[in-house]
Amino acid sequence: MSVIVCRPEKVTRPYYVEDLGVNIYSSQEFCYAIYHHPMLFMDRFDDQNLIDFIRDQLGMGFAAARMEQRMKAGEKSVELMFLFMQECDYYTAAELNRFRQLVTSLKKLPPLEYAKRKTDYLVECKQYGRAIAGYQAILEAAGDKKDDLLAGLVWNNLGACYARIFQFQKAMEAYDRAYGKKKDLGLLEKMYHLTLLDSGLELKERYKSLISPQLKEKWDRDFDEAREKAGESPQLKNLQELFRKDSVKRGEGAARLVEEWKQEYRSMA
């Protein structure tokens, strides 16, 4: 239990973290964001715009100057990030030590594994467009390397990303490639469900032969249950509520909602 005095900071131009969809207005918020989403910031600190924000908006001129010096000397982004967090005095030394250990363990991962973890994080943040680019870059970098397990996981995740942005054809192709790396029944199920979502899609004959009538029946049941569950979601309830209102309120609400959806889709794709 403790009380921390906040530095007086007059941020007029906040720092926008696109991955999280939030503006940062203070050094405390910045530290909080880094601490809870290290993957998003570890490689971002050797950036002059970010250092300018720290100097001009957070009023941390001395820290910014030190960061600039270290950046010129070729210091890694992650070290600049630790320097910033230390200067902010938001987390205790013990908390920062724990954080440093976590970051170090992440940095010790093999490069492709690290890149995959980082891209998975983008998926968690619903940044599907950027995640797709990330996964494609991993697959390109992996090239002919014989790591079917990693490639299978990446193709699987890529398929999920395409499905989330309604590109079912591409999702089907990605799952197909994933199945090629790893013969997993779960992948077949996903491909089957895609055919239910998009009537234009069809399972390859070799996959059809692998699905027994009992399995097909179970997957159909699961699909119906999921659809039923989606029908009871709060978002849908809110939408039904909106359409019960008078035309003026309905129009205003619908416009607001469509704008929200557009924003959400833009940030996703």
| Binding site residues, other proteins, CB under 8 A | 1-6, 8, 21-26, 28-29, 32-33, 36, 89-93
Q: Which residues pair with 16 in a beta bridge?
A: 23
Q: Which of 154, 168, 79, 175 is nearest to 87 (CA)?
A: 79
Residue 58 Cβ vs other proteins, minimum distance, rounded to whole Å:
13
Q: Which residue, 96 or 165, is less far from other proteins as judged by CB?
A: 96
Nearer to other proteins, 62 or 166 (CB): 62
Q: Which is nearer to other proteins, 24 or 151 (CB)?
A: 24
Minimum separation from the CB atom of position 36 to other proteins (A): 7
Amino acid identity of 187?
L
Query: How far is Cα 155 from Cα 144, in angstroms, rounded to an integer?
Result: 15
Those residues whose C-beta lies under 8 Å from the C-beta of residue 80, and which sit 6 or more positions away, are 45, 46, 67, 70, 71
Smaller CB separation from other proteins, 90 or 175: 90
Given the complex with other proteins, which of 26 and 127 has the nearer CB atom?
A: 26
Distance CA 201, CA 192 (A): 9
Write out the DSSP string of 10-74: --SSPEEETTTTEEE-SHHHHHHHHHH-HHHHTTTSS-HHHHHIIIIIS--HHHHHHHHHHHHTT
In our burial notation (b when 16+ CB lie closer than 10 A, e otherwise), range 4-36 reads: eeeeeeebeeebebebbeeebbbbbbbbebbbe
Q: Cβ closer to other proteins: 4 or 149?
A: 4
- CB-wise, 36 or 117, nearer to other proteins? 36
CB 187 within 8 Å of CB 179:
yes
Minimum CB–partner distance for residue 17 and other proteins (Å) = 9
Strands 22-24 and 15-17: antiparallel
